A and B are shown apart, each in its own frame.
Chain A
């Protein structure tokens, strides 16, 4: 199979037609503006990158195009005609398809059954499995994917294979526009290669591809143009041919760090190593060497899926390390369950507050006592006496200790979670996205709490996808990439430096 290179296939006459024009797209969720006045054009036969930091609004824009969300204002024109998709199916019928990060496939059904789901071909009223398989084989052959068998169950395919089935399904609707959300996030290198070749084929057919990715290399390898979003607003749309990687990084980040982050409390100094991981690894992580000192805020940064949360989970015995050693306060420990982790003096504020942090239909008091009651019931009553004080020092706003936590705001819920863990008096606290989805006031309280804890000699390991937060709070930044440590940066580093390590791009240097 010799697919023509993207360079040879793109260009030419086909690239000038405007297939899609989005103008002034705005969208708010619960009063929070996630997109304001964004414009986006797609030409037939182009691969168009959509980039930006986490929370820049890429996914929302993509979901508006896909009909999952509806824009609050702005227009979408497809081939010059205004459209407003209210349902993903309408978008699909207008030949606009989306390949989401989470797969929309039935793993127990075959490739052909998935591709033709809902539109199974029939002869004399009966599903014609033979024709369905033949049609799928034809679609696959058109794309040079002859190694995929229509009869294979989707479950038996690799992640790349499943991704390809999604793309084939999109194409079977005769899609003119396909948007892909981080299509390579879950792929291994040689699988990425496969996807590249498929995209080259699609481009030859005049399909416009909206390509959301964090990986700069892919953007320069694959894409003709790139649209940069920042904080929900359009930065610019530029040709990749005239763009240097470091310029792109600057467009994506490059904002002044506000004085929003509280200063270190006087007398805070790094103490002994509280937590040490040597050569930690499991099926998602490899070669993790990590030290977290008392009184120090260490931050794990990296792109989505780079292994940040996985480290937190491994430390807490959820998806534990299967290689390497973990030492807490100089003692080698085997963390095989959250219970053991808690007893060792660890605490984990999880990323998903509602699903993993709280029993939503229980009271503030019950939630705050949860860990104490579970892990050390005999001393729970005595230790729980601290809880009311903790809650009020965190400025919790609630009707009282009996209020169910589901009625609290996100920020106040997070304070209950924090109180729950602080009540255990941990020596190492792991905070996974501690300020996600909470208001500015609560954020500030979380930051000052972290400073207070550091001053008290607690070792803090923070996982965050918000770079300003990483830079504003961390004493040391450990950047992860693809499950390994990509490098370590001192506190007060730049967003460019973090992004460069996270994406594998040396700032200002040549492309690898």
Chain B
């Protein structure tokens, strides 16, 4: 008898579910296939080199920002200042480099330092002063915006030709910027999977109390995530400078903070923290970039394009939320209930259980290993 109990308790869900990340990549595949078919019907080729290059260059900018955003969202935080950090970084990078190839490392260092400092400030305010992340980073964004608006009236600085290669060079059909972004994503995946801090980000986001009671210094984890997030936004700023050849304050109005959050959530990372990862974010970024490319090729009205993007994001999150609700379903003590049972006499208590509620018969106490848990 003991063996039956043991196996029963260890039994995994009987309905095998796809992991969220796998689901996101299937969605990406779906978007590519459906997009290619639609584009083909209208006489184009979505998978042509030109379109692929466009898609990848589009994705690289958002990729960096979303990578950083993944870390903070995993910690149950978020960063609304990334757009301003990008703008500031593009200006700092371009003015520091001032057209001199020898000053490229200096420019990069300055950006990393300033962006990292902003992240440090965000993290400290959130972790030490316990200010809500939404407010903290919104306020930080406004502070940077005020500085940019008074200090820079237009584009400033110049990026040396050598650094502009970061924006334009291609390796085969892969733009250099996209290759760097993919490397950064890979590093992000490795970081979350092999560093203690990476592990602890999941813990802090999953439950700060559990993390603290397990001896994790939750504040440090939160600060690290914010520093990484701001630095990633700084790198995106450098990429902008490389593309434009100069720093531009106006990037902050491009809505990267919300796009990056959308990409992260689209990638299956739980907005309330503790679950998800960089691999999903990459897929989320690629989905958004591919959608944009399809809309561009089809010359969809830009306003309608935004509407479609909004619909896609909400639909995706609705699907995740639905899965979430099912998973959270309370442990049933008694089997035999459908999802929406009536109170009518037709539903007798001895009705046999359906597949959603454990496995025991109506009269027996059901062990909590039903398919939906």
Contacts and interface: CB of A to CB of B under 8 A. Distances in A.
Contact of B373 (A88, A89, A156, A194): A156
Given A156-B13, A188-B368, A283 B195 contact: no
B171 to A, nearest CB: 29
Contacts of A122: 196
Is chain B's interface secondary structure helix, strand, loop, or mixed overall? loop
Interface stretch (A39-47, A158-166, A374-382, A392-400): A158-166
Interface in B187-221: 193-196, 198-200, 202-203, 206-207, 209-211, 213-216
Interface in A98-117: 104-109, 113, 117
B334 A283 contact: yes
A320 B6 contact: no
A1 B334 CA distance: 29
| Size bin of chain B's contact surface | 35 or more
A82 interface: no
B10 A147 contact: yes
A89 B334 contact: no
Interface stretch (B76-84, B224-232, B299-307, B338-346): B338-346
Contacts of A155: 327, 373
A155 to B, nearest CB: 7
Given A88-B213, A283-B332, A108 B5 contact: no
A89 B9 contact: no
B6 A147 contact: yes
A120 B211 CA distance: 13
A186 interface: yes
A186 B331 contact: yes
Contact of B7 (A108, A147, A188, A332): A147
Contact of B331 (A1, A159, A194, A335): A159
Contacts of A113: 199, 202
A323 B373 contact: no
Nearest to A108: B275
Interface string A358-402: 000000000000000000000000000000000000000000000
Contact of B203 (A117, A157, A320): A117
A265 interface: no
A483 interface: yes
- Interface size range on A against B: 35 or more
A211 interface: no
Nearest to B274: A108
Interface string B265-287: 00000100011000000000000
B2 interface: yes
Given A108-B274, A159-B368, A188-B365, A120 B199 contact: yes
A281 B327 contact: no
B211 A117 contact: yes
Contacts of A118: 200, 203, 211, 214-216
Contacts of B150: none
A326 B367 CA distance: 28
A158 B10 CA distance: 7
Task: List 7 A-B pairs, minimum CB-CB distance, nearest first.
Answer: A322-B341, A283-B332, A118-B214, A106-B206, A118-B215, A147-B10, A126-B194
Interface of A: 1, 88-89, 92, 104-109, 113, 117-120, 122, 125-127, 129, 147-149, 152, 155-161, 186, 188-191, 193-194, 197, 279, 281-287, 320-326, 332, 334-335, 482-483
8 contacts: A117-B210, A117-B211, A118-B200, A129-B194, A155-B373, A158-B368, A190-B8, A322-B347
Interface of B: 2-3, 5-10, 12-13, 193-196, 198-200, 202-203, 206-207, 209-211, 213-216, 270, 274-275, 327, 330-338, 341-345, 347-349, 351, 357, 362, 365-369, 373
